[in-house]
Amino acid sequence: MDTRITTWSGLLAVWSDFARAAGALPKTGDLGLLRRSVPAIIGLQSLTQALEHIDCLPPDEYCSGQDRAALITRTLRAELESIWRSDAMPAALSEMLADAQSVLARTHKAGYEFVPESDPFTMPVGATELNAWRARRSFGGTLFAPPRTRRVRAGVPALFISGPNGRPLAREDLLDLGALLPGCLWGRVKSMRQVYEVPDPRGLRQFASEPDQPGLGTELLQRIDAAESTPASAEAPRIQTRRTPSAGASILPGSL
């Protein structure tokens, strides 16, 4: 049986018991406020749980799912703030709101890692080839990779790719990209890991950690910006002497 089904079944049982127990609370005082907060509490918990499985949505519904989740979060926050004064809301409710917002924010950072199996792995492509892939697949997200011919140790990402707003990519896109990186496995991850390189008595040591952490070492993965082609109208002007206008791979399936 799908573990997601058993998880939701268990949560539904917990929420049902919680709702029944809340019915016995008094209707006045702080306990009365807690009683009125029960629908919002259950809504926040169910939303947070659902966002953990947002990848189950079809890719073309991913962003609309994020929009709906953001709207639900704002609605539930407004509902709780209308019940409790800002200085009286229990810390547990504030944490639930923060958790829902944090999980929603993480969905925008999700992507894919391509991790070498062999050690060391020499990066076979650079920005030119990756931008050619970007144009071929009409990809509008972000790419991070080390410079071409740079060596990457097995077990750390040689490339991170994220669709717009973290949206999952089509398998065909991933297989096409994987053909450029033979010897790598790819898999879905919740957020990017940067590769840091530091001196070591035996050479250079590489490890993966959260990005943008100063002092950890040299960052190996660099953002690959989309190549900008020069439009025809931007070419150097030519002097016209005439009075009339002139006429104008192998496929590597994989999973972490």
Q: Label residue 151 left, alpha or beta by phi (over 0 means left) and psi (-120 to 50 means alpha).
A: beta
Does the structure show a pLDDT above 90 at 197? yes
Of the CA atoms within 13 Å of residue 97, those in its CB half-sphere come to: 17
**Mean pLDDT taken over the chain:** 82
Does the structure show a pLDDT above 70 at 62? yes
Does the structure show a pLDDT above 50 at 188? yes
User: CA-to-CA distance for 153 and 151, rounded, in angstroms?
Assistant: 7
The region of weakest confidence among 24-28, 150-154, 199-203 is 24-28
- Give the mean pLDDT of 104-120: 94
Output the pLDDT for position 121. 94
> 18 falls in which pLDDT band (50, 70, 90)?
low
> What are the start-end ranges of the H helices in the chain?
3-22, 29-51, 59-83, 91-107, 127-136, 171-178
Sign of the CA dihedral running 11, 14, 17, 20: negative
Answer whether the bond into residue 120 is a cis peptide, omega within 30°. Answer: yes
> 34 falls in which pLDDT band (50, 70, 90)?
confident
User: pLDDT exceeding 90 applies to what percent of the chain?
Assistant: 58
User: pLDDT exceeding 70 applies to what percent of the chain?
Assistant: 78
Output the pLDDT for position 20. 60
Per-residue pLDDT tens over the stretch 139-159: 999 999 999 999 999 999 999
Output the pLDDT for position 237. 38
The region of weakest confidence among 14-23, 205-214, 216-225 is 14-23
The region of weakest confidence among 10-24, 72-86, 131-145, 148-162 is 10-24
User: CA-to-CA distance for 168 and 174, rounded, in angstroms?
Assistant: 10
Does the structure show a pLDDT above 60 at 211? yes
